[in-house]
Amino acid sequence: MKCVVELRTAGVRYGTAEVLRSVSLKFYQGEFIAIVGPNGAGKSTLLSLLAGLAAPSYGECLFLGRPAHEWNRREFARRVAVVLQTGPAAFPFTVEDVVYMGRMPHSARLYETSKDHAAVAGALTSTGIEGLRKRDFRTLSGGERQRVLLASALAQEPEVLLLDEPSNHLDLKHQLALNRLLRELSGKGLLVVGVTHDLNLGAAYAHRLVVMSEGRIYGDGTPAEILESALISQVFQVHVEVHHKPTGQPWLVYGE
Q: Establish if 42 belongs to a structural domain.
A: yes
Q: Establish if 111 belongs to a structural domain.
A: no
For the segment 59-86, the average pLDDT, to the nearest whole number, is 91
Domain hosting 39: range is 3-91+156-254
Of 19, 83, 87, 92, residue with least CA distance to 56? 19
Q: Establish if 104 belongs to a structural domain.
A: no
178: CB partners within 8 A, 6+ apart: 147, 150, 166, 167, 170
pLDDT at 252: 92
Tens-place pLDDT, residues 76-126: 999 999 998 666 666 789 999 999 999 988 876 665 788 999 999 999 999
Q: Establish if 120 belongs to a structural domain.
A: no
53: CB partners within 8 A, 6+ apart: 82
pLDDT of 157 higher than 70: yes
For the segment 167-172, the average pLDDT, to the nearest whole number, is 84
pLDDT at 170: 85
pLDDT of 63 higher than 60: yes
Burial of 229 (0-12, 13-18, 19+ CB in 10 A): middle
Instruction: Assign residue 207 a region (left: φ > 0; alpha: ψ between -120 and 50; beta: otherwise).
Output: alpha
Q: How many CB atoms lie within 10 A of CB 159?
A: 18
Q: Establish if 194 belongs to a structural domain.
A: yes
pLDDT at 89: 62
User: 3-class DSSP state for residue 86?
Assistant: coil
Tens-place pLDDT, residues 183-197: 999 999 999 999 999
Of 194, 211, 196, 166, residue with least CA distance to 32? 194
pLDDT band for position 142 (50/70/90)? Answer: confident
CATH number of domain containing 230: 3.40.50.300
For the segment 221-236, the average pLDDT, to the nearest whole number, is 93
pLDDT of 221 higher than 90: yes
pLDDT at 86: 61
Q: Establish if 180 belongs to a structural domain.
A: yes
CA distance 181 to 170: 14
Of 218, 242, 190, residue with least CA distance to 38? 218
Mean pLDDT over the full length of the chain: 91
Q: Establish if 131 belongs to a structural domain.
A: no
pLDDT at 37: 95
pLDDT at 143: 85
pLDDT at 108: 62
Q: Establish if 203 belongs to a structural domain.
A: yes
pLDDT of 158 higher than 90: yes
Distances (CA, A) of 106 to 8, 103, 143, 155, 215: 30, 5, 27, 10, 35
User: 3-class DSSP state for residue 40?
Assistant: coil
**Number of structural domains in the chain:** 1
Angle at 12 between CA 8 and CA 18, to 5 degrees: 120
CA distance 127 to 22: 36
pLDDT at 84: 82
At 193, which amino acid appears?
V
Q: How many CB atoms lie within 10 A of CB 237?
A: 9
CA distance 26 to 5: 6
pLDDT of 181 higher than 60: yes
